[in-house]
Amino acid sequence: MVHLSRRTVLLAGVAWAVTELGPNNVHAQNSTRPSLPIPAELRADAGGTIRLDARPGSMRFVGDRETATYGINGPYLGPAVRVRRREKVVAQVSNNVPETITMHWHGLIIPGAADGGPHQVIPPGKQWQTELAVDQPAATLWFHPHSYPATAQEVIRGLAGLLIIDDEESGRLPLPSRWGVDDIPLIIQDRRFTPDGQFFDRMNYIAVTNGYVGDTALVNGARYPQTRTTRGWIRLRILNGSNARSYTLAASDGRSLYVIASDGGLLATPVELKQLLIHVGERFEALVDGRDGRAFDIVTLPVAQDIMRLPPFDGPLPLVTIRPEGADGTGQLPSSLAVLPALPQQLPPMTQELVMNMFRDQQGMMPLKTAGLMAMVKSGKTDPAVVARVVNLIVNDPVLSQTDQLSANGVNGKSFSIERMDFAAARNQDLRWRISEGSDLMLHPVHIHGCQFRIISRDGKPPEAERAGWKDVAPISAGGVTEILVRFPHPANRVAPYMAHCHILEHEDSGMMTQFTV
């Protein structure tokens, strides 16, 4: 039996058509719409090496304007690196972009020295090589730079890719697993462009408070692409690779999403949802039933945060069209997936508290209020004059000095300092941490390096079923408190500590990060 989450919300009779166009227009649109780009799989070569080359490129996202990009082994985003559990590979990262980067393996449980955090810088023209000894269950992870304080800009430009771990247990399940055929990666991002077609990336008070607000949704680097799959069960490997935006994903015709995996791997049983909320840095794998062969869209519905409801995110926005029109598929939805250890009856004592702080939220929020954003969202009607005022603030509010940027946010009362070790965590022990948020009204998806953890409770309640498995991102909302059970099997020393931070990249780059040793 498929577990029906209590959060399952029926979208009674709401069918946002694949397109609201007549059959002729659908046909016309088909030929002009981009195909969903499928990142190439990249396995270690015969010598056990995985080569990643960060380089500049260019792409056409808007009309025929060339946008300057960064990519890994290509012009934008990167390959899907595939490793097997218990495999030891060498990752060799070449930096051919004109700025210092790092390469962090988000979700991988490895020592601090291999983690690719802000201390392991790769200057332009240089290479960084590290061993990755993979020993954790099958999961969809990802990699991206972690340069302090430029992660946001480097990710906006295109540096990010998937990192997929395979293992025997998951290989025995009849899940759809033919890459790009019935196993479809979806990297969802939002971007905004300057009038000359370049990526907008201004760090002002609006950005360090609210995070990046794009007006264009991209899936694997394409605008509203379409993809043909087998006629059968389809697996979507979803990464929210945006800087700040959360998405509420749904199928346009109301069909269910069966969530089978969270950040760190398979859930115990599938969780059937009509709407799937995914925050930045999070991954979910979901199966959808395409046995009827009928096309549908994955859409995103408006989310809670006011500024993230600016058009085109003020109504259901189609992200990608899935056409299950190919040969019959063979994948299935198993009724049970993996054995998840039960949380211990006796929880360890609380050893660490992390409080997310915003020191300048007034500077970032007040102008939006004055511009009428909150009132507009409350009224439920989009007002072009308000939208224009808010967009003007996003785009034109002055860039912060580096000192102002770096002191805008913090953890436990202090903005990040790369020189200062903030705390030490015990190695190889179950630890209970408490993550919370002050009085600001933001949601912070908090991410911790060097581990996969379990959410014990969120605001005193058990986590949603789709967040009850292995996680490396815990969403904390307005005044909320989340407790997690975490264990660090590997060391991280003062030279290569682990990070814990809000994964809204503009928060991370403005002080909402802390570092610790194990």
- Where on the chain is the footprint of Cu ion (CB under 5 A)? 106, 444, 449, 502, 504, 507
Helical axes 361-370 vs 384-396, angle rounded to 10°: 150
Cβ-based nearer residue to ligand C2O, 182 or 285: 285
Cβ-based nearer residue to ligand C2O, 3 or 501: 501
Q: Indicate which of Cu ion, ligand C2O, none lies near residue 504 (CB less than 5 to 8 Å, by partner kind).
A: Cu ion
Cβ-based nearer residue to Cu ion, 67 or 510: 510
Q: Which stretch binds ligand C2O (CB under 6 A): 308-316, 390-398, 451-459, 495-503?
A: 495-503
Query: Residue 95 is inside which H or E element, if any?
Result: strand 88-95
Q: Which stretch binds ligand C2O (CB under 6 A): 285-293, 338-346, 374-382, 497-505?
A: 497-505
Tokens of 313: 């995110």
For 246, residues 6+ apart whose C-beta sits below 8 A from its C-beta are: 240, 277, 278, 279, 280, 303, 304, 305, 308, 443, 445
Q: Which of residues 88-107 bind ligand C2O (CB under 6 A)?
A: 104, 106
- Per rule CB under 6 A, count of chain residues that contact ligand C2O: 10
Query: Residue 362 is inside which H or E element, if any?
Result: helix 361-370
Task: Tell me the closest approach of the beta carbon of residue 108 to ligand C2O, in angstroms.
Answer: 10
- Measured CA to CA, the distance from residue 141 to residue 148 in angstroms comes to 21
Distances (CA, A) of 468 to 2, 137, 212, 473, 501: 15, 16, 28, 12, 21
In the three-class reduction of DSSP (H, G, I as helix; E, B as strand; rest coil), residue 308 is classed as: helix
Cβ-based nearer residue to ligand C2O, 44 or 163: 163
Cβ-based nearer residue to Cu ion, 160 or 317: 160
Using the rule CB under 6 A, which residue among 55, 237, 274, 447 binds ligand C2O? 447
Task: Tell me the closest approach of the beta carbon of residue 143 to ligand C2O, in angstroms.
Answer: 8
Q: Indicate which of ligand C2O, Cu ion, none lies near residue 501 (CB less than 5 to 8 Å, by partner kind).
A: ligand C2O
Amino acid, single-letter form, for residue 300: T
- Measured CA to CA, the distance from residue 503 to residue 384 in angstroms comes to 31
Tell me: does residue 146 bind ligand C2O (CB under 6 A). Answer: yes
Tokens of 327: 């040969």
Q: Indicate which of Cu ion, ligand C2O, none lies near residue 502 (CB less than 5 to 8 Å, by partner kind).
A: Cu ion
Task: Tell me the closest approach of the beta carbon of residue 285 to ligand C2O, in angstroms.
Answer: 18
Tell me: does residue 283 bind ligand C2O (CB under 6 A). Answer: no
Q: Indicate which of ligand C2O, Cu ion, none lies near residue 281 (CB less than 5 to 8 Å, by partner kind).
A: ligand C2O
Task: Tell me the closest approach of the beta carbon of residue 117 to ligand C2O, in angstroms.
Answer: 7
Cβ-based nearer residue to Cu ion, 466 or 472: 472
φ, ψ dihedrals at 390, nearest 5°: -70, -45
Q: In what order do the strands lie in the sheet with 80-84?
A: 41-42, 80-84, 161-166, 139-144, 104-106
Q: Indicate which of Cu ion, ligand C2O, none lies near residue 187 (CB less than 5 to 8 Å, by partner kind).
A: none
Q: What is the rounded end-to-end Cα distance, in angstroms, of the chain?
A: 41
Q: Which stretch binds ligand C2O (CB under 6 A): 14-22, 69-77, 119-127, 496-504?
A: 496-504
Task: Tell me the closest approach of the beta carbon of residue 501 to ligand C2O, in angstroms.
Answer: 6
Cβ-based nearer residue to Cu ion, 270 or 497: 497
Inter-residue contact 403 to 321 (CB < 8 Å): no
Inter-residue contact 229 to 201 (CB < 8 Å): no
- Measured CA to CA, the distance from residue 39 to residue 140 in angstroms comes to 14
Cβ-based nearer residue to ligand C2O, 360 or 447: 447
DSSP for residue 328: B
Inter-residue contact 433 to 457 (CB < 8 Å): no
Inter-residue contact 79 to 72 (CB < 8 Å): yes
Task: Tell me the closest approach of the beta carbon of residue 508 to ligand C2O, in angstroms.
Answer: 7
Tell me: does residue 449 bind ligand C2O (CB under 6 A). Answer: yes
Cβ-based nearer residue to ligand C2O, 155 or 310: 155
- Measured CA to CA, the distance from residue 295 to residue 67 in angstroms comes to 31
Binding site for ligand C2O (CB under 6 A): 104, 106, 144, 146, 281, 447, 449, 499, 501, 503
